Structure 1
């Protein structure tokens, strides 16, 4: 396993039950992906990987689109890890029942962690 190519524009993780969350921070150097615009994550085994990425603030500053799907047990997103997702950015959440419930009222600390993102889509509803 080694670092990903710095010119990578799209990267996705789906159903990677054997992938260790610690390897994401140790080996991938996601912050060094200066061209990464879109990152998708979902399915079995991805919950802990996303939490690691957000907690350790490993998403690159170039990221414009974050798509999260099929993570039914994920209840919230670490706002520190989403601070780089700002102007002209898009957050999509689908088939994540606990996460959808957390953000349905658009209030509280959890909502404040993502409210700076210009476009948020939860399932088929565009929120902002």
Structure 2
């Protein structure tokens, strides 16, 4: 994939044997704007090479990656990320750096019991990390964020 420098959209779906742990797996995707990673049972971490899309990646969808335990701290390097959906990742945790994603305007979490508990409005451990995001939906319920939290 490192030679696909003009690629803007990529969907990796239902690839039981795909393992994206090598640094060079995604490092050439410098024009990537949209990425969906769905049903990759061997995925335990997001590929480090995604950092090469730090200025272009706007949409990230992670679904049914049951082995994924945490999003990496380098996620904060994705300065163009506007929309993040996390679906069916039961043991996933958010990094501290998610609060640095000031362009993130939409966060969707569905079927992630651990995240649902941690992102509960005002009382969840991760609420301070995500309270700056204007639109948050957890298990199809939109959470209203106070205007004062956005300042």
- Match status 1:114 vs 2:114: no
Q: Distance in 2 between matches of 1:24 and 1:95?
A: 23
Q: Name which of 45, 49, 56 aligns with 2:74.
A: 56
Relative to the length of structure 1, the TM-score reads 0.76
Q: Aligned in 2, Cα 1:31/1:120: closer, same or farther, shift over 3 Å?
A: farther
Aligned to 2:101: 85
**TM-score, normalization by structure 2:** 0.66
Cα 1:52–1:120, aligned 2, differ >3 Å: closer, same or farther?
closer
Alignment length (residue pairs): 120
Who wins on radius of gyration, i.e. which is larger? Answer: 2
Q: Where in structure 1 do 4 or more consecutive aligned residues deviate above 4 Å?
A: none
The yes-or-no answer on 1:101 pairing with 2:110 is no
Deviation (angstroms), 1:3: 1.4
2:56 to 25, 35, 38: 35
Structure showing greater relative contact order (alpha-carbon pairs closer than 8 Å, 6 or more residues apart): 1
Provide the rounded CA distance (Å) in 2 between the counterparts of 1:44 and 1:125.
22
Kept in 2, the 8 Å contact 1:10–1:39? The answer is yes
